[in-house]
Amino acid sequence: MADESGDPDPPGDAPGTGDDAEDDSARAAVRARLLERAPDPVRAKVAELVAIAVGHLPVIELPPPVRPVARFAPAKRARVGAGPLLAAVGSAEGFAARVVTWWTEEQPDRWRPDDAEPVHAAAVAVLEGREEGSGLVRDVTERADAGRARAERDAALARVEKLEAEVRRLTAERDEARAAVGSAGQESRDEIAKLRTRLREQGVRVRRAEDEAAELRAARERGEGGLRAELDELRRERDRGREAVAAAEARAGRAVEELAGVRRAALDARQADDARLALLVDTVAGAAEGLRRELGLRAGENGARPAELVGAGSGTMPKARVTDPAALDRLLALPEVHLLVDGYNVTKTGWPDLSLASQRERLVAAVAPLAARTGAETTLVFDGAGITGVPTHSVRGVRVLFSDPGVLADDLIRSLVGAEPAGRPLVVVTSDRAVVDSVRRRGAHPVPSSVLLHRLARI
């Protein structure tokens, strides 16, 4: 190719042989080395310059990995295709030379402006494969490092102030906890011991945080000297400072979360234990009274004693399986009984032709009279998949639950059974064999869906 004056292209603009080939090879080596060492701003500028040239070069002259990038819009080409473009500049033979040739011939003023920015000048030097580009790249790198060092110093100062505020807050919480320990009565000795243990741990964390804050303040005072004179030292200490600050923030955050979590856990555990204990006591008392009524036993009545029956023959009868509505009624007559219903398992057995919404409404309407008549706690469980909004309509005495997205109703039923205290009568209505086996192992009474449907038909 020749320029408008008829002079041939300068050496290096097109592949050659002999000295030109050696010069191109040397420039390619320099270009690859500079591109590898270049900071992100210089690499981004190189990608931008290459992206502009790629849009004007014939596709056949482009390396195969770059050809898809050439079809992108100009604004998207440098942003999305930076990886393939930079890889081609460093590895594809003659590609960088074609890019430089296009710029020098088509837009020489933009290629070498009089007041070129350092990043632009460094990018041009990288593409041309000039040795003086090392100094330009190093200058841009040092400028970027200096800017990052200033930003990191400001961030460290902000973190120091945050840690100092955290220390003051933790100290105030420690003082409040100590006051709470001092005002506790004799009846809270165990709680006081636990609080003292936590106070000691908190005090250790506070002292550590104070020591780290003092170290950071000392580092800040040392760093307030000349930035340029201590730039190398700041680079070496930067990583250590990051780790120390991150560790201090993590420990302070864990301390706060641990204190709040201990308080919440203690309150939740006490409430849960009280609720379970009260329900278990009511269940045991009611079950005993119900069993007495079921067996026809009355306090003070005379009858046969166990010793009188020895030798008369005895045996343990197997428990009757729940195969009819009468057996279900006997279970629902137990005190504090909880009736759990696998909703769709029942509705698809009884009313498969209806829509799912109609099936739910019909089951709720049918179960409500049974719950009112027996007084049993009643919970209907449905799969939440496909439910865009949980229905707000409810019936007195009937609880309707939908499983969370991605959770089966079977797993929700198992969780409900596992949440009940041992000894409480539980009746689970389902024909799903896996659910039947799992709830039976946990002490619940499984009832087929057909039995509940027959019982509801009598209401």
Q: Minimal CA–CA distance to 124: which of 99, 149, 144?
A: 99
| Residue 124 vs residue 281, higher pLDDT | 124
Quick one: pLDDT at residue 332?
94
Quick one: pLDDT at residue 32?
77
Quick one: pLDDT at residue 91?
77
Quick one: pLDDT at residue 167?
84
Residues 6+ apart with CB under 8 A from 350: 449, 453
Q: Using an 8 Å Cβ cutoff, are 85 and 66 in contact?
A: yes
| Residue 7 vs residue 258, higher pLDDT | 258
CA separation, residue 122 to residues 81, 86, 230, 353 (Å): 21, 15, 26, 75
* Out of 31-35, 206-210, 311-315, 451-455, least confident range: 311-315
- The conformation of residue 299, written as its DSSP 8-state character, comes to T
Helix axes 95-106, 19-37, angle to 10 degrees: 90
How would you write 149-180 as a 3-class SS string? HHHHHHHHHHHHHHHHHHHHHHHHHHHHHHHH
| pLDDT bucket at 202, cuts 50 / 70 / 90 | confident
CA separation, residue 214 to residues 66, 108, 219, 243 (Å): 54, 57, 9, 16
| pLDDT bucket at 138, cuts 50 / 70 / 90 | low
pLDDT in tens, 295-316: 655 444 444 333 223 223 333 2
Given 3-state DSSP classes, what are the helix, strand and coil percentages for the chain, each rounded to the nearest 5? 70, 5, 25
Alpha-carbon gap, residue 210 to 166, rounded angstroms:
10
Residues 6+ apart with CB under 8 A from 368: 395, 396, 397, 398
Quick one: pLDDT at residue 94?
80
Q: Minimal CA–CA distance to 335: which of 295, 301, 373, 291?
A: 291
Q: Any idea which residue has 């050809």 for tokens?
A: 67
| Cβ atoms within 10 Å, residue 44 | 17
| pLDDT bucket at 22, cuts 50 / 70 / 90 | low
| Global model pTM greater than 0.75 | no
> Is the pLDDT reported for residue 175 higher than 70?
yes
User: Which range, 23-37, 93-107, 211-225, 343-357, has the best average confidence (pLDDT)?
Assistant: 343-357
Q: Using an 8 Å Cβ cutoff, are 380 and 364 in contact?
A: yes
Alpha-carbon gap, residue 451 to 425, rounded angstroms:
18
Residues 6+ apart with CB under 8 A from 250: none
Q: Using an 8 Å Cβ cutoff, are 365 and 395 in contact?
A: yes
108 — phi, psi (to 5°)?
Answer: -65, -30
The percent of residues above 70 in pLDDT, for the chain, comes to 76
* Out of 14-18, 157-161, 377-381, least confident range: 14-18
Calculate the average pLDDT of the chain.
Answer: 78
Quick one: pLDDT at residue 12?
39
Q: Angle at Cα 111 formed by Cα 107 and Cα 117, nearest 5°?
A: 145
* Out of 87-101, 140-154, 183-197, 342-356, least confident range: 140-154
Residues 6+ apart with CB under 8 A from 339: 332, 371, 374, 376, 377, 378, 379, 427, 429
| Residue 92 vs residue 437, higher pLDDT | 437
Q: Angle at Cα 25 formed by Cα 105 and Cα 39, nearest 5°?
A: 75
| pLDDT bucket at 265, cuts 50 / 70 / 90 | confident
Q: Using an 8 Å Cβ cutoff, are 133 and 30 in contact?
A: yes
Judged by DSSP in three states, 427 sits in strand
Quick one: pLDDT at residue 313?
31
Judged by DSSP in three states, 328 sits in helix
pLDDT in tens, 7-17: 334 433 444 44
- Average pLDDT on 105-109 reads 85
The percent of residues above 90 in pLDDT, for the chain, comes to 25
- Average pLDDT on 56-66 reads 84
pLDDT in tens, 389-401: 555 456 788 999 9
Quick one: pLDDT at residue 52?
85
